[in-house]
Structure 1
Amino acid sequence: MKILTQLSNWITKYFVVIILAVCAFAYFVPKPGVTLATTKIGHLSAVSILLMIILFGMGVTLSVDNFKEVAKNPKMVILGTVAHYVIMPLVAFGLVHLFGLTGAAAVGVILVGSAPSGTSSNVMSFLSGGDVALDVSIGLLSTLLAPIMMPSLLKLLAGKWVAVPFQEMFFSALEIVVVPIVLGLIVHTLLKKHVEKIVQVMPLISQFAILVIITAVFSANAHNIFSATALLLVPVVMLHNLSGYALGYGFSRLLSMKEPQQKAITFEVGMQDSALASTLAISYFSPASALPAVIFSVWHNISGSTLAAWWKNHDRKISN
């Protein structure tokens, strides 16, 4: 178990480099990833099942105490979640029109913007000295709301480019997102004495699943990864993420939150669950619409770790 924990820590440390290596492999050897992207097990895609494993891992780490934490301070959790679901979708919509994106590219950007908070934000909040409890609470609430928010926002903001199957997406997101989290919570509650071993290995399983999802999506888009549209998506994704940080931070400052809360809100607003966005894109639209999510996955880990390191160093200088 110690070896697995050390391996997980090593992957976390070099996650961005590993993602880039996985993308390079998917580009030069796309066949395995394409097969995975098109494989179905029952009515679910293989990519969907991988995402369910990730979210089950999230559920296993939760306990009833997490929900008590939300109940103790619901105001900041609700405000943070509202900020996330207002700022990121609207910024995505604005960037789509600013850069003249249409079709799959526009749908993909808005789908990323409509996704819940990314789990990476928890790590970044911790590294920066932010309020991790608030961060986790907002991430949990935004994820549980995803079955309603994602199809609703997509229909509202991207309906002119694509027919959004609202009901199908709702039940699919419910099955992929909420059910695994609830099952994980039940396992944690029933097997509390034994769950620590599972919790220790789940980050490694989740990291592996994320890398496999990225491989599948990147492979499916390998033929047009250097097209004009794909290259245009890079600055769009970067601006989307950075605008989320800036507006999330500004929102928290406006409400006179303490600095740890400001950090948590900044990361919770700016970092997206790109794995969920890419999974739904492949399931309901096209592989091309999943490309913004893959680019976002790589970029927000780079920007998030950079911002967390800067914040930590800034705090250290002030304390000295």
Structure 2
Amino acid sequence: MSAVMNVTEIYNGIVTVYNEGNVSGNESVAVSEQFPMLNKTINFFVIIVLIITMISVGSTMEITKIKTHIRKPKGVIIALLAQFGIMPLTAFSLAKILQLNSIKAIAVLTCGCCPGGHLSNVLSLAAMGDMNLSILMTTCSSIVALGMMPLLLFIYCQGFKNLENAVPYVGIITALTLILVPCGIGIAINHYKPKYSAVIRKTGLSILVICSIIGCALSGIAYRHTLWLLLTADVLAVATLLPLTGYTLGYVMAITCKLSPQSCRTISMETGCQNVQLCVAILKVAFDQQDIGPMFLFPLIYIVFQSTEAIILALGFRCYRALKPPAEDTTYHVVDGKQEEVKQP
């Protein structure tokens, strides 16, 4: 496929990276050739996890609440600008500053250009954010990503040698379409058969956990000799700084635009949280595995830091809220025709 990475240019450039760790380059990048059935099985579970996740997201959406935010789209627009402005630029900057090689750079850029994920809804709830805005933002970013993600990858890949023609745009658009269809199915179920929504979410969660465990186990078996590439200092630094920068700048941007504190916390969570399931699916299925190697597992490293940092921020806010003295309630009494202010403790 012409849209897939140029194997001869990139592979020859990074094979020494694998060899430096006393690991055969062929052993690390040719899993799809050595174990074709194992590779297809991993692909199957990756796609199943993505589909179930998006059906669950759709089943939480209510059309009436969507219409409410559409009438006042300020929060959604700001959130989209933060999502597709801050994260891709941050990913590009970190890849440049840390001088990542081509394989690591494309994995980081793909993660940075992904839309928001389902986890952001849970984290927004933990941070006492606006759940309606959070769920709508997840859906809207998935739709907008159909055009923005390929465009952003095209733009930022120009800054790296050998990556100008490395992005499999057809595969990415196919994966993005794959998330919109199940999301639409979930929305339809919640609208026409709302009594089944809770059952779908609970059942979907169980299947999601099982498939995720199986997929991770199989990936560990397939790439057991090269998993060390995910634990290098530069990869861990990106996984730490990327979500933290997204949370921080997303909040600052929302505050600057004078949104409510609840909306600011929501946009912060939505900006830093990426759709990890989608990112894994794109890196695993769309890219040639002889190119991407074990770096398709980078999103799994990212989700650990993204979740940990978000939980710390949410707990910090809740502690601040609990320790903050209650605001005084001001009431007014009319005395002799004059209004007097009385503060209640």
TM-score interval, smaller chain: 0.7 to 0.9
Amino acid in structure 1 at the alignment position of 2:200: I
* Within-5 A mapping of 1:109-188: 109-159=108-158, 160=160, 161-162=162-163, 163-174=166-177, 176-188=178-190
1:112 is displaced (CA, Å) by: 0.6
**Distance change (3 Å), C-alpha of 1:214 and 1:117:** farther
Amino acid in structure 2 at the alignment position of 1:111: T
Q: Which residue of 2 aligns with 1:278?
A: 280
TM-score (norm 1): 0.81
1:312 to 301, 318, 321: 318
2:240 to 232, 238, 241: 238
Amino acid in structure 1 at the alignment position of 2:293: P
Check the 8 A contact 1:53/1:209 in 2, yes or no: no
Q: Which residue of 1 aligns with 2:101?
A: 102
**Rounded Cα–Cα distance in structure 1 between residues aligned with 2:127 and 2:325:** 14
Q: Which residue of 2 aligns with 1:290?
A: 296
**Rounded Cα–Cα distance in structure 1 between residues aligned with 2:193 and 2:149:** 33
Q: Which residue of 1 aligns with 2:72?
A: 73
Amino acid in structure 1 at the alignment position of 2:106: V
Check the 8 A contact 1:112/1:274 in 2, yes or no: yes
1:237 is displaced (CA, Å) by: 1.3
TM-score (norm 2): 0.75
1:229 is displaced (CA, Å) by: 7.1
**Distance change (3 Å), C-alpha of 1:218 and 1:228:** closer
Q: Which residue of 2 aligns with 1:39?
A: 40
1:212 is displaced (CA, Å) by: 4.1
**Rounded Cα–Cα distance in structure 2 between residues aligned with 1:39 and 1:189:** 35
Amino acid in structure 2 at the alignment position of 1:184: G
Check the 8 A contact 1:105/1:288 in 2, yes or no: no
Amino acid in structure 1 at the alignment position of 2:111: V
1:144 is displaced (CA, Å) by: 1.9
Amino acid in structure 2 at the alignment position of 1:128: A
**Rounded Cα–Cα distance in structure 2 between residues aligned with 1:212 and 1:306:** 29
SS class of match (2:232): helix
Structure showing greater radius of gyration is 2
Structure whose residues are more often helix by fraction: 1
How much is the aligned-residue C-alpha RMSD, in angstroms?
Answer: 2.5
1:281 is displaced (CA, Å) by: 0.4
**Rounded Cα–Cα distance in structure 2 between residues aligned with 1:86 and 1:37:** 37
State the percentage of identical aligned residues.
25
